[in-house]
Amino acid sequence: MQSVLEPTLKYISESQAEDLKLASSKMSGAERRSFQAAMTLKYCKGSARLAETVFGWGRGTVQLGLNEQRTGIICLGAQSAYAGDKLWEEKHPEAAQALWDLMEAHSQQDPTFRTSVSYTRLTAAKALEELRNQGFPANQLPSPSNMAEILNRNGYRLRKVLKAKPLKKIEQTDAIFDNIKKRRKTVGK
């Protein structure tokens, strides 16, 4: 009796199968399914069951990859949408709006206008203190380190704001001011 694997194994060695398993394990999501589907079509005649036997991949995943490849529609999982903790801004929108208003009042544009980043003199600790003064309870407010992360994530850089620096004095500066003084004297007569 002939084994089911024999036709496949004449095209691929055990070490190659192990390499393909390793390569697949380094990928995730749609990329992994696409790779598994391509290898299944190449080495297993498009059979998800045979790919499960040869490579040890879940046949449901391989079948989904084959369907995605056939239709061109990529399936998105809901895990990323529903996994993890919500952002502080999503949990406490009123406090977040008060924070944005506060930060807008204390921020300024980069003096060189090279970037769209807003710089602020207000530190995370001071922002928390201001929010507490506005009546937000401490259990709604994040820690100072998380507050700094929230502000950075939303485009506020917690750095000292550099004031515009005056131009350096050029050689003709004294001559220009002397000329202005002379003209004022002549106009005043």
For 58-115, the pLDDT digits (tens) are 999 999 999 999 999 988 877 766 777 888 888 999 999 999 888 888 776 656 666 6
CA distance 98 to 105: 11
110 in a domain, yes or no?
yes
pLDDT class of 164 with cuts at 50, 70, 90: low
95 with 154, same domain? Answer: yes
Identify the pLDDT of residue 1: 41
Q: How many domains does the chain have?
A: 2
54 in a domain, yes or no?
yes
pLDDT class of 175 with cuts at 50, 70, 90: confident
2-6 average pLDDT score: 52
Tell me the pLDDT tens digit for each residue of 18-32: 999 999 999 988 899
189 in a domain, yes or no?
no
Identify the pLDDT of residue 8: 54
51 with 100, same domain? Answer: no
99 with 64, same domain? Answer: no
167 in a domain, yes or no?
no
43 with 103, same domain? Answer: no
64 with 95, same domain? Answer: no
106 with 148, same domain? Answer: yes
Q: Which domain holds residue 92?
A: 88-158
For residues 53-76, one letter each, b for 16 or more C-beta atoms within 10 angstroms of the residue's C-beta and e for the rest, the string is ebbebebebbbbbbebbeeeeeee
Q: Return the closest-CA partner of residue 151 out of 134, 181, 130.
A: 130
169 in a domain, yes or no?
no
92 with 66, same domain? Answer: no
- Alpha helices, DSSP H, located in the chain: 6-9, 14-25, 29-43, 48-55, 59-71, 79-82, 88-91, 93-105, 124-133, 144-153, 173-188
139 in a domain, yes or no?
yes
168 in a domain, yes or no?
no
Identify the pLDDT of residue 52: 92
State which of 14, 46, 71 marks the end of a domain. Answer: 71
149-154 average pLDDT score: 85
122 with 154, same domain? Answer: yes
Identify the pLDDT of residue 135: 92
141 in a domain, yes or no?
yes
26 with 56, same domain? Answer: yes
